Amino acid sequence: MKTVNRPCPKKDAEALTTGVPAYTEDLIPPGSLCIKLLRSPHAHAKILSVDKRAALAVPGVVCVLTHADLPAARCTYAGQCAPESSPLDRYILEDRVRYVGDPVAIVAAETEQAAALAVRRLRVEYEVLPAVLDYEKALDAPVVIHPEADYCNRVAIGGDPRRNLLCSHSAAYGDVEEALARCDVVLEDTFHTQAAAHAMMETFRSFSYYDYQGRLTIVTSTQVPFHIRRIAAEALGLPPSKVRVIKPRVGGGFGAKQSIVSELLTAAVTFATGRPAYLIFTRRESFTASNSRHEMRLQVKVGATKDGIIRAIELYALANGGAYGEQSYPTSLLVGHKTIPLYAHAAFRHRADFVYTNTLPGGACRGFGATQGCFAVETMVNRIADAIGMDPAVLRLRNIPHPGDTMPAYFGDVLLSSGLDRCIQTGKERFNWDQRRFRREVAPGKVRAAGMAITMQGSGVPMKDVCCATLTLNDTGFYSLQIGATDIGTGCDTILAQMAAEVLSCRLDQITVDGVDTAHSPYDKGSYASSTTYVTGQAVLRAARQLREQLLDEAARRLEIPRCRAELNEQGVCDRENPEKALSLSALSGQLVLRPDCHYLTATAEHCCTYSAPPFMAGFAEVEVDLFTGAVTVTDFLGVVDCGTVINPALAATQAQGGILQGIGMALYEEVSRSSSGALRENSFLQYKIPARPDAPPIHVAFEPDWEPTGPFGAKSIGEVVINTPCPAIAEAVRQATGVSCSSLPITAEAVWRGIQRLSKE
């Protein structure tokens, strides 16, 4: 292959590295109103009145909007294919606020100073309600968070808002009791994972205006432009044709921007005033008033026979959905369905209950529940391996599914490709696992050891995700690829162009890529669920093949040669048997467009995946623990990934390294806590510590690709699978080094130190 499987630099690299205006904030039209929000200081309250008079008197203030000024149409902010599985449980603004940070009023002014001053001048009378801050106490609590009559589910998800039950999912296979009775070792524990923040470098932001066709146009840093178009029209009561969404370059998403966050608040101002307006979330707002990873308590029971076969897995997860139910249901599915299938011989029982609380809503977050489930299940499997005296890597090799196996815990799908066995074996060798996994003292009071874990994810949401692509040969001899897939920094514009270039036998620079403007781009459900390469890629592949056929037909006719002799290359089309006889791409395209016998060559293709091909990874972590302080440092990490054919090795390796470091941050640094009134304490980078450069260990990545028959060029996904293993691998390394079992994230120095003290007293 000439273009696929090459580390091509991203098409936007030069623009991004030289500071060309390309992101939402860089493009705000002059004269736009600045929007600031008044946010609730209470975790749960009714808004009795809002006195706007003093705010409106501030010079430069143009409008103040409260719930009384906006349409009352229940919607969800979750960017999902319709019908959404997330409950319709929100208004843009409501007379009830459900967490500290929930917006109360929108202020728009000619200047930022005026908007900020007007926010301070608003006088709100609240009836403070008792709040549910602890998700352990939410189910059947006397306080009901969503008592509204127009609460609505478009898809049955097992929830009951009267009980604060957002959704519930369960699944089972085999006779768990019988399997447990046959086991030589059965271990059980409870785990806790935190409401980690996405912490992408560009906070939430959008601006809006009416275009010349009277369309309410929202320019936004999002992963889901087409879902926003649909939901914004519903929420604002506009015809769908009167809403347009444009996605410029995006400064990272990690799932956070799979939800509507700023967009409707911005659009409401343009809707109300007719004026262009912008809303930029501060970092504090980004932490406290958006969405986070779902916090979870996971109870796991795992049983194995002494030959190392995992016979039974019981997994119960209770998760904090927060104030609104964005993406809770899909997250509930992934907790078990992307962890248990790795153990092919296990009977299982899995349930996940998500509850409403008066805290920051949970939302889509890289890994999507699989990360939380992986921490719990993989940690338990490591302990099982220890209990029966087996190398945990060897134990995995005895349990993993192989191509051709039916996976009862993966919706009964048959596994079509897997390089997981090679991921484990290669990882063992390259990491020098057999030596490094055991505890050794490297300096007085400093010990090292290693741990490992395996994981899987999916590639797209089967039977729901539809992605389209349009390829055109232009009048002047270059191709354009139009996509609705949203490059949020991962490089999908480039990766998809690589696929098209491969089929069209051209150079990457002969294809321009444009996305996303819902007025011009073909439909795409957006970039989430690790789907862009796998699902949109198939659409691009199909469109490119169709265009290639059209091109060869036309060129053969015009060259007067048999079709089978026409050969496409980067110059154009030539006669295979007489290469002198050729039509350059520009000559051909000119003939095709600029003459009476014209034939404008364009192909649009779509793809809906019917199977979500799982990528796999084996992760190996070495840690050093300071026995005096309990401080844990990761000294080395190796991830070996099967993402199928690697379309762009440089971008895939970076995705892996970034995901692994994000996982390390979740494992060790990223702490989340709330005040007694429910305010999130970690609301800046001063408190919420994402890994900085000196924190980052050497992170090595290797690929063990297996050809995936359902993916473009044999590819699967990589975006999410890479974040899952650091938490369990590091927890195991700490246990090997110190004997301390960490069941709660992050693994702080204090927790390890306390564990060491406890063990020394026993």
Partner 1 sequence: MKLSLYVNGTLCHSEIAPGTTLLEFLRGKGLMGAKAGCDTGSCGLCTVWVDEVPILSCTYPAARAQGKHVTTIEGMRQQAALLGRYLAENGSEQCGYCSPGLIMTVLALEKEHPAATDAEISAYLAGNLCRCSGYAGQLAGIRAYLNRGKGALE
Site string for partner 1, 107-126 (x = CB under 8 A): ------x-------------
Q: Where does residue 126 rank: exposed (0-12), middle (13-18), buried (19+ CB within 10 A)?
A: middle
* Residue 493 CB, nearest approach to partner 1 (Å): 12
Q: Which amino acid is at 6?
A: R
* Residues 426-445 interacting with partner 1 (rule: CB under 8 A): none
* Residue 21 CB, nearest approach to partner 1 (Å): 4
The nearer residue to partner 1, 9 or 590, going by C-beta atoms, is: 9
Q: Does 699 bind partner 1 (CB under 8 A)?
A: yes
Q: Work out which of 675, 698, 709, 759 binds partner 1, going by CB under 8 A.
A: 698
Q: Work out which of 488, 492, 513, 544 binds partner 1, going by CB under 8 A.
A: 488
Q: Does 696 bind partner 1 (CB under 8 A)?
A: yes
Q: Work out which of 389, 404, 444, 694 binds partner 1, going by CB under 8 A.
A: 694
Q: Does 684 bind partner 1 (CB under 8 A)?
A: yes
* Residues 233-292 interacting with partner 1 (rule: CB under 8 A): 249-252, 254, 280, 282-284
Site string for partner 1, 648-667 (x = CB under 8 A): x-xx-xx-xxxxxxx-----
Count of CB atoms within 10 A of residue 700's CB?
18
Site string for partner 1, 13-42 (x = CB under 8 A): xxxxxxxxxxx-xx----------------
* Residue 366 CB, nearest approach to partner 1 (Å): 10
Spatial contact of 604 and 469, defined as CB atoms under 8 Å apart? yes
Spatial contact of 238 and 76, defined as CB atoms under 8 Å apart? no
* Residue 7 CB, nearest approach to partner 1 (Å): 7
Count of CB atoms within 10 A of residue 340's CB?
26
The nearer residue to partner 1, 167 or 496, going by C-beta atoms, is: 496
User: How many chain residues interact with partner 1 (CB under 8 A)?
Assistant: 60
The nearer residue to partner 1, 458 or 691, going by C-beta atoms, is: 691
Question: b/e string for 701-734 if b means 16 or more Cβ within 10 A?
Answer: bbbbbbebebbbbbbbbbbbbbbbbbbbbbbbbb
In angstroms, rounded to a whole number, what is the distance separating the alpha carbons of residues 325 and 151? 11
In angstroms, rounded to a whole number, what is the distance separating the alpha carbons of residues 555 and 572? 9
Q: Work out which of 1, 7, 441, 509 binds partner 1, going by CB under 8 A.
A: 7
* Residue 688 CB, nearest approach to partner 1 (Å): 10
* 595 secondary structure, DSSP code: S
Spatial contact of 345 and 383, defined as CB atoms under 8 Å apart? no
* Residue 485 CB, nearest approach to partner 1 (Å): 15
Q: Does 692 bind partner 1 (CB under 8 A)?
A: yes
Residues 440/446/449/454 CA torsion (nearest 10 deg): 180
Q: Which residues, at least 6 apart from 694, have a Cβ–Cβ distance to it below 8 Å?
A: none
Spatial contact of 211 and 447, defined as CB atoms under 8 Å apart? no
In angstroms, rounded to a whole number, what is the distance separating the alpha carbons of residues 258 and 86? 12
* Residue 285 CB, nearest approach to partner 1 (Å): 10
Q: Which residues, at least 6 apart from 600, have a Cβ–Cβ distance to it below 8 Å?
A: 472, 592, 593
The nearer residue to partner 1, 153 or 655, going by C-beta atoms, is: 655
* Residue 539 CB, nearest approach to partner 1 (Å): 23
* Residue 696 CB, nearest approach to partner 1 (Å): 5
What six digits make up the tokens of 517? Answer: 């403007």
* Residues 196-235 interacting with partner 1 (rule: CB under 8 A): 198-203
Strands (E), 365-509: 406-407, 413-414, 440-443, 446-456, 466-473, 479-483
- Whether residue 746 is preceded by a cis peptide bond, meaning omega within 30 degrees of 0, is yes
* Residue 693 CB, nearest approach to partner 1 (Å): 4
Q: Work out which of 686, 760, 761, 762 binds partner 1, going by CB under 8 A.
A: 686
The nearer residue to partner 1, 600 or 685, going by C-beta atoms, is: 685
In angstroms, rounded to a whole number, what is the distance separating the alpha carbons of residues 529 and 188? 30
Binding site for partner 1 (CB under 8 A): 7, 9-10, 12-23, 25-26, 113, 198-203, 249-252, 254, 280, 282-284, 488-491, 648, 650-651, 653-654, 656-662, 684-686, 690-694, 696, 698-699
